[in-house]
Amino acid sequence: MIFFRTIKAFLADKEYRDLLLTVVAILILGTVVYHELEGWSYLDAFYFSFITLTTIGFGDFAPQTDAGKVFTIIYITIGVGIILAFINILYSHYNKTIIKRNTKK
């Protein structure tokens, strides 16, 4: 299937792999910090980190502590760019794969 070949090729490239590791690291960082500062479960903390950095922001969770609010400001400033770069590169890589596949036919 084209999706799995795209993911395999994506992971074979060091730059893509490094960006993926950066995304995973920033999500883990947010999960751990929110768990500690806000007392949320790891699942809730991961959920909040993910929806915040992908700019979905449902609003069902929000930091209640001052430290949590300050961390969120810094986390969004750094994390949104990283997440959006990752999504953009993944989309571009997928499109290149589709174009190559279609030109070979």
Q: Could you tell me if residue 25 is inside a domain?
A: yes
Q: Could you tell me if residue 6 is inside a domain?
A: no
Q: Could you tell me if residue 2 is inside a domain?
A: no
Q: Could you tell me if residue 39 is inside a domain?
A: yes
The residues, any chain, with a CB within 8 Å of residue 6's CB and separated by 6 or more, are: 93, 94, 97
For the purposes of burial, counting CB atoms within 10 Å of the CB of 45, is it exposed (0-12), middle (13-18) or buried (19 or more)? buried
Q: Could you tell me if residue 52 is inside a domain?
A: yes
Domain with 79, as residue range(s), is 11-104
Q: Could you tell me if residue 3 is inside a domain?
A: no
> Which CATH number is 91's domain given?
1.10.287.70
Q: Could you tell me if residue 80 is inside a domain?
A: yes
Q: Look at residue 3 in the predicted model and tell me its pLDDT.
A: 66
**pLDDT tens, position by position, 57-74:** 898 999 999 999 999 999
Q: Which regions of the chain are under pLDDT 70?
A: 1-3, 6, 105
Q: pTM for the whole thing?
A: 0.80
